[in-house]
Structure 1
């Protein structure tokens, strides 16, 4: 596959576009930048990634000491009568306050917490690839919206030109009818084609408005004049090269690989949960009696070990479930790989079809244009009917419309090839944007900061993201 300049064979469309100053036209890069900067779907999935980053922080916190406190104020009261009180009723009341501090630290758990940290980290990598996949979807939608506006704009210009031509043909038919060269039938045929041309123009204008709305939603910009790119993006020379690139770096495949690793770590963690845990515990407590001077101060420190004996088969079930989830992710990896290969192949087929159609339609336009001019000239000499002229003009219109669509389809298919290869990203396209750094937030939270200078930096990051 090679880079090819875009052929502009439609003189009428080119004349319309030539009236638009180039400095005022939006480029495809402008559309892609707008999509990247304004997409709510991208922002949503960036938040999903930040939530996954926090899973790492929470897993890390399990290896640290856990400090907790408790406090209570208690009033005990009661009424009693005993045999030794000669039937007298005795009332009692006391007020005490207690404060306690408890510290716990896991010393050894056969790797449960370490496995949880590793699993959370790999899950972050999978979520990052999911974000890249969403980015590709957003940019491909912007590409499609851009070229659909181009298609609709050129189709409207073509329909307008067609309306002018049929109007001229109607006038010519009316003039020839007045001098007796044609019948009323010829005039009616021209009138019918004129009505059809007006309906087609209205439909094309409606499609243009719909395409402009899609462009606004996809890019966050109101479409004005759009500048046609000079060439399609550079692509690998053959299918095998494109598939090889996709299988090395497509975000969907990388995400599936990470998810397999997460599932494998989950099995090891489920097996470790069946083993004991050794912890260091410390307690400190103070109790004061408000009614007298009595008090008690004390504490304890010790090492304790806990482990399951029997939980009704729950732990074994969790291990089997983790294994089933691993098998599911392995199957998904196989499906994703095949899907990527198929998508690359289909995108290349669409591209080749569009290019072949463009070449054929360009030849058809040239031939139909010559035929139309010849038939119209023959009609002025009485050798052709009005219907012959209208049919020739319709064939020329259809050929021009097909050429416009083939040209648009070529561009969309080329960018779809990039997407199936995993190369339709802001970085690969070299977009002039401030790219989102997925590691910035992760680096601030991976060590589970609480109140620290790092925590203050995290607050600044959140404010910069507009989330606080």
Structure 2
């Protein structure tokens, strides 16, 4: 009878251990849904989109430097005082009130090409900022992937630890039954009790790690985790490292941003040289002045064309040229560093992926072997050839193998998306996420002609800005 009870308990323990799974209710959340939510609700993306809009406005302001400036000025003046002539000894008071208003027009006709080149610098800055925005988007999505998979790792570990407690409690009951009939000693019971306490401590630690992972998920995705479904497939990545490196050197946003920075620095050299050239400008003005005392008034205008240029600046202009050359050289060196870093990151990401894939295969084999070993030890313990400690050790090895397998599978998925990021393909467009499309050129096209608020374009732009402010 006791032998039958013992066999039943051991069989139940094995069944419970082998069937450890983390099941999710019907309303589960996929990785794609988590990435979509992270993309839509990312404050970091909103921040960098606003930075891009600010860079777009630099183009508008540079264009405005080529246009005439029309301004007005006006004022009312009261003058008063006393006077005395040489022939009289008394003072005579006098006062006058005048008002004037003027309008002026100023236009720079020639500035050594600096104004037009400033527009090109601003355009290069816009293109660089767009690439930086893509880089930020990749980081946002990668953080969401990592947070999603860490939740899975922690939740699976909690389920394993919880199931482990159930198995050890069954083993403890079996050990106590066998102790009562004299088949084992008190030592076997104490070992099972110690292992149960250890399992409960590990379960508490796993629960804490799950809470921590949940906070990371909230920060990365923008909401609390629901019942997450493990990814069913893998993202498509190039099969060979060389192919991935070549692709990354063509489209990685960090490299694109560095290239536009180099171009802007090269134009900056020409702007610095242009400061040595003369500036030619034209101005026109018209003024009306009227006295309140005698109702006298004057009207008149001016037309002027002037030129100015540096003769000696204490070496400041030459220094500015040398500084621009040094900045250009630094940006070229940075471009070289960025390209090598991208290649290195691609190689490292593929190495991590290969290691994760090999580790998954190894742990899958370990789990299969550990399951066979556990069943064998269980049967031998039923025949009295193994002790309770042997069963607990075999159970622990199987638990560790399953936990390691889950962790390796998580690492493999994270490594796959890391590869995408190093290539420059970890974007909402490349992943085909169901998110509102964002056109980085839309705002630029609205402001590149520097519209004023009173124009039709300006009123449309005001509506766009109000809509952005409500988001």
Classify the TM-score, shorter chain: over 0.9
3-state SS of 2:366 partner = helix
Counterpart residue number, 2:120: 118
Structure 1 contact 12–161 (Cα < 8 Å) conserved: no
Q: How does 1:35-184 map to 2 (within 5 A)?
A: 35-84=38-87, 86-184=88-186
Partner of 1:226: 228
TM-score (norm 2): 0.94
Q: CA deviation at 1:467?
A: 5.7
Out of 306, 314, 319, the position equivalent to 1:317 is: 319
Separation in 2 of the partners of 1:13 and 1:337? 46
CA contact (8 A) 1:96 1:290 kept: yes
Q: Secondary structure at the match of 1:466?
A: helix
Deviation (angstroms), 1:247: 0.4
1:12 matched to 2:9: no
Please state how far the C-alpha of 1:324 moved relative to its aligned partner. Answer: 1.3
Partner of 1:270: 272
* Residue 456 (str. 1) matches residue 459 (str. 2): yes
Q: Secondary structure at the match of 2:71?
A: strand
CA contact (8 A) 2:18 2:371 kept: no
Q: 1:385 to 1:13 in 2, by over 3 A?
A: closer
Native 8 Å contact 1:59 1:117 kept in 2 = yes
CA distance, structure 2, for counterparts of residue 306 and residue 69 of structure 1? 24
Q: Would you say how many aligned residue pairs link Structure 1 and Structure 2? A: 454
Tell me, yes or no, if the aligned pair for 2:353 and 2:416 is still in contact at 8 Å. yes
> 2:244 aligns to what SS in structure 1?
helix
Give the deviation of 1:291 after TM superposition.
Answer: 0.6
Question: What is the distance in 2 between the residues matched to 1:167 and 1:298?
Answer: 104
SS at match of 2:228: coil
Q: 2: distance between equivalents of 1:186 and 1:220?
A: 50
Who is 1:7 aligned against?
none
Matches within 5 A, 1:207-246: 207-246=209-248
Please report how far the alpha carbon of residue 218 of structure 1 lies from its aligned counterpart in structure 2 after TM superposition: 1.2
Give the Cα separation in 1 of the matches to 2:18 and 2:355: 24
Cα deviation, residue 80, structure 1: 1.9
Distance 2:226 2:90 in 1: 99
Residue 416 of structure 2 corresponds to residue 414 of structure 1: yes
**Pairwise CA distance, 1:464:** 2.1
Distance across 1 between alignment mates of 2:468 and 2:295: 57
Please name the residue that 2:32 is paired with: 29
What is the Cα deviation at residue 380 of structure 1? 2.0
Partner of 1:395: 397
- Provide TM-score, normalisation by structure 1: 0.95
Compare 304-313 and 402-411 and name the one that shifted more. 304-313
Structure 1 ranges of 4+ moved more than 6 A: none
Residue 31 of structure 1 contacts residue 221 of structure 1 at CA under 8 Å; is this kept in 2?
A: no
Which runs of 5 or more structure 2 residues have no equivalent in the other structure?
Answer: 1-16
Gaps of 5+ in 1: 1-9
Q: Which residue is 2:343 aligned to?
A: 341
Hey, what does 1:197 align to over in structure 2?
199
**Structure 1 stretch 411-420 or stretch 456-465: which is displaced more?**
456-465
Report the Cα offset of residue 376 of structure 1.
1.7
- Compare 391-400 and 51-60 and name the one that shifted more: 391-400
* Displacement after TM superposition at 1:179 (Å): 1.2
What is the CA distance between 1:20 and its match in structure 2?
A: 2.8
* Secondary structure class of the residue paired with 2:227: coil
What's the CA shift for 1:283? 1.1
Structure 2 CA distance for aligned equivalents of residues 32 and 124 of structure 1:
27
**Which residue number corresponds to residue 289 of structure 1?**
291
> Over residues 125-166 of structure 1, what are the superposed CA-to-partner deviations in whole Å (9 max), with x where a residue is unaligned?
000000000000000001111111111111111111111111
Q: Indicate conservation of the 8 Å contact 2:249/2:342, yes or no.
A: yes
SS at match of 2:449: coil
CA distance in 1, matches of 2:311, 2:79: 40
1:4 is matched with which residue?
A: none
Contact 1:151 1:405 in 2 (8 A): yes
Shift of 1:323: 1.2
Match of 1:329 in 2: 331
Of 279, 300, 308, which residue of structure 2 is paired with 1:298? Answer: 300
